[in-house]
Amino acid sequence: MGRALAVIIWLLTLASVVLFLSGWWFPTTITEHGPRVDQQFLITIIVVGIAFVAAQIGLGWMVWRYGANSQNKDERALYTHGNNRLEVLWTVITAVIFISLAVMGQRVWAQLHFSDAPADAFQARVTAQQFSWNVQYPGKDNKFGRTDPTLIKEDENNFIGLDDRDPNAKDDITATTLVLPVNRPAELILRSKDVTHSFWVPQLRFKQDLVPGMEIHVHFTPTKVGQFQLACAELCGMNHFSMKGTLVVLPQDQLNDLMNLPPTQFQPKLEELRGKYELGMIYDEKGTKIGKSY
């Protein structure tokens, strides 16, 4: 049985390697930083994969060499109390590998979170709630109107507590769809008004928790036009499964036309534009279909 088990271990290891090498697991990225995230993931998989394969080969060899049906079953075992040099060596090697991976990943993370957004970045404030997404755009004056939780009146469609007495709020647009320009930096201001949620669009290559009482800023540059699904990636209640939204990336001229409309005309025009782009497909700035993002 020992040698048969060793063969099974090696075959499962081979199958795992073939499975991971059979194709790329992520959808196509649509951001400037996306390729760096993919590179980081690939390096991590290679490093961890080498360690995994080496460990399974060693495990299989031990089962083959010392299993129940091996030719050495009458051989007496040798016991040892450890090897300090060997333990220090593999501890140092492991620490160097994981610290190196962490430093590499931190560079990408810092690009999104720890640097200031460019002055010309397009801004949108995204507020999560059970079980929907609300987006606030600053309007033509590029200034967000004041919001106050005490002003929230969902029966009047004021889901974020926008203060209509604030002059900066007069031209603000509120919607349930996130719209961003292509090839221009975008800054998202992420908030939650009830429990912890998580903003996740796989094609953007980042996932960010939204914590009540916090405003979290993240900025990036979309590079592809299209319509993509926004999901909550944090279990947030009984209807968590239904908390879906939409990200639409538009050419700058289409976005300008949309943002220059009166707030009451925003949603109908947006629905018209969404009809041009199939969910999950990517397009160039002229609207020519490039292919699937998944």
| Res 218: pLDDT | 93
C-alpha to C-alpha distance for 16 and 12, rounded to whole angstroms: 6
The CA-based diameter of the chain, rounded to the nearest angstrom, is 89
Of 75 and 166, more confident: 166
Whether the pLDDT of residue 23 is over 90: the answer is no
Q: Which residue has the higher pLDDT, 277 or 20?
A: 277
Confidence label for 72 from pLDDT (cuts 50, 70 and 90): low
Q: Give the mean pLDDT of 189-205.
A: 95
Q: Which of 20-24, 47-51, 164-168, 226-230 shows the highest mean pLDDT?
A: 226-230
pLDDT (0 to 100) of residue 70 = 58
Query: What does the pLDDT look like over 119-147, one tens digit per residue?
Result: 899 999 999 999 999 999 998 888 999 99
- List the domain boundaries for the chain: 2-68+84-113, 122-292
Mean pLDDT of 63-79: 68
More reliable by pLDDT, 12 or 74? 12
3-state SS, the chain, equals CHHHHHHHHHHHHHHHHHHHHCCCCCCCCCECCHHHHHHHHHHHHHHHHHHHHHHHHHHHHHHHHHCCCCCCCCCCCCCCCCCHHHHHHHHHHHHHHHHHHHHHHHHHHHHHHCCCCCCCCEEEEEEEECCEEEEEECCCCCCCCCECHHHCEHHHCECCCECCCCHHHCCCEEECEEEEECCCCEEEEEEECCCCEEEEEHHHCEEEEECCCCCEEEEECECCEEEEEEEECCCCCCCHHHCEEEEEEECHHHHHHHHCCCHHHHHHHHHHHHCCCCECEEECCCCCEEEECC
- What digits encode the pLDDT tens for the residues 56-69? 999 998 888 777 66
Q: Token pair 């209807």 is at which residue?
A: 239
* Residue 245: strand pairing partners: 230
pLDDT at residue 77 in the model: 64
Q: What is the mean pLDDT of the chain?
A: 89
**Angle at the Cα of 138 from the Cα atoms of 135 and 142, rounded to 5 degrees:** 150
Banded model confidence at residue 193, pLDDT cuts 50, 70, 90: very high
pLDDT level of residue 5 (50, 70, 90 thresholds):
confident
pLDDT tens, position by position, 243-262? 999 999 999 999 999 998 88
pTM, full prediction:
0.83
In the CATH hierarchy, which top-level class contains the domain 122-292? mainly beta
**Interval 272-286: pLDDT, tens:** 888 889 999 999 888
